[in-house]
């Protein structure tokens, strides 16, 4: 029988491999896991206490904010503002960076997060999740963090992960070397190691994209999706939940490809992208890369992009290396 390993124990073991580590990152991640448990409890009882429904507000990207989005946002802030590990935070739900209150110490890390990804689907009980990304600050320690600390590429991440609140709640986490999955045992309230060292299959048999946007894609993207449905490529299955966290989680475990290409709906020349670099595409792409997969905009690795604004978006193709290679061949016009 295999050992029972809690996420705390796993983080401590990981820390031991870094003799110069101060324990700051470990402590920060511990705090975060408590926030995730609180959000999980609320997501699970949302139907009962009538928390579903819009909060009547719009977030920085213009989406409707649901009450659970607000709860998740507030919970993470209230858990993380006073630990002394962070110099500031940034959230998909907040227009500006989130300062650490003056009365608390400023730490050496920055936390960027999407408190509840996929929340537009929540009334239908579709899986939602929290995505988080941690960078080391760039401004001097002890001072207030600034946008300069937040606006860093995926290459500079020190840790990232996501929690998917579903039939079972799972935390997927990497501090750089490997990707591990922990399932929440609700009876004891602990995340236990259930998926050690996740590796994405070299090729999968599932593609995932919102085909409702097809007429707004570039021709090369349309040709790729036509090809993947053809007997030449197939048989591939189409699966699209519309919750990035769930679509990418499935892609990580089973292989295949998740796409959110540029759509030329409103801007027929430059097009538009939906997924946010800092809170969605960046950390999810980084996790998939750490597990042996690929995350690209089509033109460059997602991890190379340095955001210039907090709410920058980018196109993404994320998944198994062979599947993304096929996509890139079409994207570049080689096929």
Residues annotated as catalytic are 63, 69, 92-93, 114, 116-117, 280
Contact flags string 54-73 toward ligand AHM, x per CB under 6 A: ---------x----------
- Is residue 40 a contact residue for ligand AHM (CB under 6 A)? no
Minimum CB distance to ligand AHM, residue 334 (Å): 27
- Is residue 243 a contact residue for ligand AHM (CB under 6 A)? yes
Report the distance separating Cα 162 and Cα 283, nearest Å: 8
Nearer to Mg ion among residue 25 and residue 245 (C-beta) = 245
**Residue 289's binding partner, choosing from Mg ion, ligand AHM, none, with beta-carbon cut-off 5 to 8 A by kind?**
none
Report the distance separating Cα 292 and Cα 194, nearest Å: 19
Cβ within 8 Å of residue 186, ≥6 positions away = 169
Query: Interface with ligand AHM by CB under 6 A: which range of 28-36, 81-89, 112-120, 183-191?
Result: 112-120
Query: Interface with ligand AHM by CB under 6 A: which range of 14-22, 115-123, 140-148, 327-335?
Result: 115-123
* Peptide linkage before 180 cis (omega within 30 of 0): no
Minimum CB distance to ligand AHM, residue 274 (Å): 5
Q: Phi and psi of 109, rounded to 5°? A: -120, 165
Q: Are 89 and 112 in contact (CB under 8 A)?
A: yes
Q: Are 252 and 288 in contact (CB under 8 A)?
A: yes
Cβ within 8 Å of residue 310, ≥6 positions away = 60, 90, 95, 96, 97, 147, 150, 151, 278
Nearer to Mg ion among residue 114 and residue 326 (C-beta) = 114
- Is residue 251 a contact residue for ligand AHM (CB under 6 A)? no
Residue nearest to Mg ion (CB): 117
Give residues in contact with Mg ion (CB under 5 A).
114, 117
Residues touching ligand AHM: how many (CB under 6 A)?
A: 13
Cα–Cα distances in angstroms (integers) from residue 216 to residues 221, 267, 295, 298, in the given order: 10, 10, 22, 17
Q: Are 141 and 147 in contact (CB under 8 A)?
A: no
- Around 195, how many Cα atoms within 13 Å sit in the side-chain half-sphere? 21
Query: Interface with ligand AHM by CB under 6 A: which range of 19-27, 34-42, 116-124, 216-224?
Result: 116-124
Nearer to Mg ion among residue 117 and residue 326 (C-beta) = 117
Nearer to Mg ion among residue 15 and residue 208 (C-beta) = 208
Report the distance separating Cα 42 and Cα 48, nearest Å: 10
- Is residue 297 a contact residue for ligand AHM (CB under 6 A)? no
- Is residue 8 a contact residue for ligand AHM (CB under 6 A)? no
Residues found near ligand AHM in the complex (CB under 6 A): 63, 92, 114, 117-120, 210, 242-244, 247, 274
């Amino acid at each position: 029988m295999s050992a029972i390993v809690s996420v705390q124990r796993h983080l401590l073991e990981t820390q031991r491999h870094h003799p110069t580590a101060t324990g700051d990152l470990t402590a920060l991640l511990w705090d975060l896991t408590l926030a995730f448990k609180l959000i999980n409890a609320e997501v699970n009882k949302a139907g009962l206490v009538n928390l579903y429904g819009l909060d009547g507000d719009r977030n920085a990207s213009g989406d409707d904010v649901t009450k659970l989005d607000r709860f998740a946002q507030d919970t993470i802030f209230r858990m993380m503002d006073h630990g002394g590990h962070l110099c500031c935070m940034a959230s998909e739900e907040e227009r500006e960076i989130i300062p650490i209150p003056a009365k608390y110490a400023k730490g050496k890390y920055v936390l960027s997060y999407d408190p509840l990804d996929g929340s537009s689907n929540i009334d239908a009980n579709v899986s939602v999740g929290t995505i988080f990304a941690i960078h080391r600050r760039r401004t001097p320690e002890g001072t207030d963090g600034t946008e300069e600390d937040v606006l860093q590429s995926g290459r500079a991440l020190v840790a990232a992960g996501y929690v998917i609140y579903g039939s079972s709640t799972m935390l997927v986490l990497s501090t750089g070397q490997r990707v591990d999955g922990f399932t929440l045992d609700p009876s004891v309230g602990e995340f236990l190691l259930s998926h050690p060292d996740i590796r994405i299959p070299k090729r999968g048999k599932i593609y995932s994209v919102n085909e409702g946007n097809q007429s707004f894609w570039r021709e090369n993207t349309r040709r790729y999706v036509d090809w993947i449905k053809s007997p030449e490529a197939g048989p591939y299955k189409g699966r699209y939940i519309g919750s990035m966290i769930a679509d990418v989680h499935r892609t990580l475990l089973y292989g295949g490809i998740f796409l959110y290409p540029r759509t030329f709906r409103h801007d027929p020349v430059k097009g538009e992208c939906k997924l946010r670099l800092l809170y969605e595409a960046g950390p999810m792409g980084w996790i998939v890369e750490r597990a042996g997969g690929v995350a690209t905009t089509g033109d460059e690795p997602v991890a190379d992009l340095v955001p210039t604004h907090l709410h920058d978006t980018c196109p993404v193709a994320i998944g198994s290396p062979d599947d993304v290679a096929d996509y890139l061949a079409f994207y570049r016009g080689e096929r």
